[in-house]
Each structure stands twice: as C-alpha cells, then as structure tokens.
Amino acid sequence: MLPPFSGAATSQSTISHVQIDSGDVFATQTLNVDDTAGPTSAVGTATGNGVTAAVVTGSLNVQLGQTMSGATRAQTTLNVGTYAGGLTTMVTAATANTAEVDSLGGGGLTGAVTQVANGASVSAENDFTASAALPTDPTVGVANVTASAQAIANSVSIGVIGGSTNMSVSQSSTTSVDGESGSAPPVGGATVQHTSGTASFSSIAVNNNVTATGTSGANQTLNVTQTATGDHTIAGQFLNVGSGQTVQGEAAASANNISASNESGDLNVTSNQSNATYTQADSVVTAYEFGSAQSTASGVGNSLMAANYGPSTELSSNQSNNAEVDSSASFTGGNTNGGSYDAATSATAVGNAVTAFSCSDCGGVINVGSTQTNTNTISATATTELTGSTRSISSTATAVGNNATFYVSQPTR
C-alpha cells in the first residue's frame, strides 16, 4: 500500500480495465544449498491477472474485470545438503485473479470489481529437505526454517484512509485450489533432520477472498457476492523433524472469506456467500525430539468478519454451505530414550462463521440481519501419538455447522 497523502482531495480519477487470461501460468524453481552461514531465501510467485489502482489525491472510481481460464501454479523446491544458517525462508504463492484498489489521501473510493476463475486449478507447493545426519556439532542442519504456501483463486484488497468507500465485488470460482508445504507421504515430504531454532510450515488455500480496511475516520459501504463451485479447496502441510527446538505446522482452507475492518467511521457490509466445493485442511507433524511442537488445521466453508473500531456496524449477510468441510490435525513424536516437552494438536471445522462488532467507547451500535444455512457434513479430527515422557499435551477438535458472534464492546487490537 502506498503512503498516505496529507493534501486535500480535489479531483476524481476514473479507471476502467479488463483482463482475460486463457493460458497457463507456471512459476517453478529448485534451489540446492550445501553450506551457507547467512540467510537463504526462495520465493516463487505465479499470477494469472493482477491489477493495482490507487490515488493519493482526489477520489477514485474503478471498474475492473478479471477472468482466468488457464491453470495457475507455483512450485518451489529447496534442498539443504549440510547446513543453512540464519533464517531459511520459502514463500510460494499462486493467484488466479488479484486486484488492489486504494484511496489514500482522504478522497472517496467507488466502483465495482468482478472476478471469474474457471481454470483447471490453482496450486502452490513447497518442497523442503534438510536431511543431513544428526549433528555432532552446531554446523549441520538448519538454524531456522519458515515455509509458506498460499493458493487463491480470486482476491480483492480495498483500502481507504480518511475518506469513504462504496464498492461492490463479485467473485465466482469453479476451479480447484491447492496449497501445500511438503509433498504428501510416503514420497517426498518436508524433512528437517535437525534445527536448533524453529521449523515452521504453513499452507493456505482460498477460493474467494475480500479484505477491506478503513482508517483515520473512514466510512465504508461494501456489497460482496462470493460463489465457489469447484471440486475442492485443500490446504495440506506435512512436516517431519528429527530434532527441533520449536516445531510448528499449520493448514488453513476457506472456500469464501470476507474480512472488513474500519476505524472511527461507519461500516456497512452486505454479503452473499455460497459454497459448494469440498473444503479440507490437513496438518501432519512428526518430531522425534522437540522442545515444543504444534499441529493446527482450520477449515471453513464461508467466513465473514465486520470489525469496526467505530460507532456503527451495519451487516446484512447470507451464508450457504452445501459441501463437506473437513479438518484434520495430527502430531506424532517422542523419544523412548529421553523426554520431550510440550505438544499441542488442534483441528477446527466450520460450515458458516460470521462475526460483527462495534466500539462501545464510541457510542457504538450494531444492526444485523443474518442467515446461515449448512446442508453437509462438518468434521474435525485431532490425533496425538507420543512416545516417551512429555511435559504437557493439549488436543482439541471443534466442529460447528453455523457460528455467529455479534457484540458491542471496548476496542482492542
């Protein structure tokens, strides 16, 4: 996002733009590292259609259309032979359609964004291996490793500073979306034989996403329609660690997601979310010796948050989930010859989730009209298997068909 402009809004800009991509977009890379003392970074990005429209003076009206009919894929492979020092980072992202619209100088933001993803698939994959033998000195293995894979069919970001927003967004996806860190067992996998620091792997898969942010007294009016009808939305991560101080694995899958936040002004959201795509989050973590280890999976059919740190929140919401949502988290570890410490496993599956709130310190009020319908199976499974002694164990599985939270309270960040 560009920096805010302090001058007055005096004029209007108009942008009308259409993007159509019927070809495949692939980004693939392989990085082999034998021995390095400094940081290692591998970044791979594949985007079908991307557009950014922003003003720092005056107001902006946008009319944007994006259609992606080809496949979108990003894949990153990183192999460490002996040692990777500092922070080893993998970031892989695949997005069929992405748009950002901003008004940053106090002017108004109006218009419409239409996105259609009807290609074969959207996929982002990380493959990481650091499988050197257990060290006899601190110069074997990896110091710290962070890997994230994100796959999104349609994404819109809306930002306004000190002005007003009146935007409509229509998102439709018939594609399959896969986000994965590490190849599925028994072949491949994310293998870290030893780390003295943190091994953190995460995967995100989303069909339709809208993020709207208003600050410095902004007012927002949003009208959003999201439809997901593809075969599946799947986030999976597989992390295998021999010896690690901190081991973290997380998978998050969401068919439709809306996140709108506002500060000081009013927030008005009208939304219609419909999901018919199988949604799964699967996190698998194993560790032989560990200080702390965590496996987390979260799957949601339709999710909406209207968060206003201001006086008024108006919400008209309709959510319909007609597909199975499955969340599975597992952790297996421990050493019969010695003790490990803290292990936690958490799986959450929700058909429809909505949250709306405003600020009581601002004299806040909320006015909500909301409907939630779930017609399919929602399942959450948490599995923990430990060998040897362990200091603490936490395991949680939560499955909810429809969940709604509406409140007026003191603002927190």
pLDDT classification of 412: cutoffs 50, 70, 90: low
How far is Cα of residue 56 from the mean position of the Cα atoms in its chain? 28
Model pLDDT for residues 60-87, shown as the tens digit of each residue: 999 999 999 999 999 999 888 887 777 8
Query: What is the four-CA torsion angle of 53, 10, 212, 70, rounded to 10 degrees?
Result: -20
Contact 290, 341 (CB under 8 A): yes
Percent of the chain's residues with pLDDT above 90: 71
- With 70 as the cut, is the pLDDT of residue 318 above it? yes
The pair phi, psi for residue 240, each rounded to 5°, is -115, 120
For every residue of 10-55, DSSP letters joined together read --EEEEEEEEEE-S-EEEEEEEEEEEESS-EEEEEEEEEEEEEEEE
- Name the residue among 224, 230, 287 with its Cα closest to residue 253: 230
The pair phi, psi for residue 361, each rounded to 5°, is -70, -15
322 CB burial (10 A radius; 0-12, 13-18, 19+): middle
Q: Higher model confidence: residue 194 or residue 336?
A: 194
- With 70 as the cut, is the pLDDT of residue 410 above it? no
Can you tell me the mean pLDDT for 150-175?
A: 97
Tally of residues, the chain: 413
Q: What is the pLDDT of residue 362?
A: 78
Averaged confidence pLDDT in the chain: 90
Half-sphere exposure of 288 (CA within 13 A, CB side): 10
pLDDT classification of 135: cutoffs 50, 70, 90: low
- Name the residue among 406, 152, 376, 169 with its Cα closest to residue 255: 152
Model pLDDT for residues 168-224, shown as the tens digit of each residue: 999 999 999 999 987 544 434 458 888 888 999 999 999 999 999 999 999 999 999
- Could you tell me where the DSSP H helices lie in 134-288? none
Q: What is the pLDDT of residue 187?
A: 39
Q: What is the pTM of this model?
A: 0.93
Q: What is the pLDDT of residue 194?
A: 82
- With 80 as the cut, is the pLDDT of residue 339 above it? no
- With 70 as the cut, is the pLDDT of residue 324 above it? yes
Contact 147, 190 (CB under 8 A): yes
**Cα–Cα distance, 394 to 399 (Å, whole number):** 17
- With 80 as the cut, is the pLDDT of residue 134 above it? no
**Would you call 361 helix, strand, or coil by DSSP?**
helix
Q: What is the pLDDT of residue 140?
A: 67
Q: Higher model confidence: residue 92 or residue 33?
A: 92
Q: What is the pLDDT of residue 374?
A: 98
Model pLDDT for residues 365-390, shown as the tens digit of each residue: 999 999 999 999 999 999 999 887 77
Q: Which residues contact 407 (CB under 8 A, 6 or more apart)?
A: 357, 366
**Cα–Cα distance, 334 to 384 (Å, whole number):** 11
**Cα–Cα distance, 406 to 174 (Å, whole number):** 32
Look up residue 273 and give its amino acid: Q
Domain residue ranges in the chain: 16-409
